[in-house]
Amino acid sequence: MSDFVYDPPPGAPRVIHADHEVLVVEKPSGLLSVPGRGEDRADCLIARLREAFPTVLLVHRLDLDTSGVMVFGLTPHAQRHLSKQFEERRTKKVYVARLHGRLEPRTGRVDLPLIVDWPNRPRQKVDLDEGRPAQTDWRVVRADDAETRVRLMPVTGRSHQLRVHMAETGHAILGDPLYATGEARDHPRLMLHAESLRFAHPDGGVQQGFTSPAPF
């Protein structure tokens, strides 16, 4: 990753929903969720949002290369409330991905514990002894011998979980610069998109769901 040049896409993020407590937006691929190390990585989603929403507060993250739905708090109460839902796995997240090759069967679960691969950070790896529990459910949308379109439902929320789990099935996410190899890696972007997110609204607890169509 030493030769990586951060070149985020321009423009204001698309706002899906905003009220007195909650901000839901669509993160583009190639934009950091929060600032990275160094002045050249200061441009990020939350910094851009702060221009229009000065009180915006981080709740969760999406990888640099992943696009899709993200929720932010606009008050400390909302941030605490939403963060607790993520910690207690009460949010419902659905991702769309394009995988290399044909994934079978049509539904299943990957249950492999993950740990940071320290010599190769930011990569993660499976470690059956020391890894933290991680589960991902999948449902195939359509497939042929070349690729599979799949919906991924993470049960846990480990770093790079979906990317590592799919690579471990032998069907890496297309365009993944860390876990795909050969022709599977040769795509213009990581083919992973956070399609929908459901959570209880911090003011009253009513369940709300928001979606963002996959751009691929």
Active site (catalytic) residues = 63
CA distances from 188 to 50, 119, 185 (A): 29, 27, 9
Please provide the DSSP assignment of 98-148 as one string: EEES---SSEEEEE--EEE-GGGTT-EEE-TTTPBP-EEEEEEEEE-SSEE
Rounded Cα distance between 63 and 36, Å, is: 12
CB atoms within 10 A of CB 209: 12
Q: In whole angstroms, what is the distance from residue 107 CA to residue 138 CA?
A: 5
CB neighbours (10 Å) of residue 86? 15
At a CB cut-off of 8 Å and minimum separation 6, what does 14 contact? 25, 26, 212
Q: What angle do CA 206, 211, 212 make, to 5 degrees?
A: 155
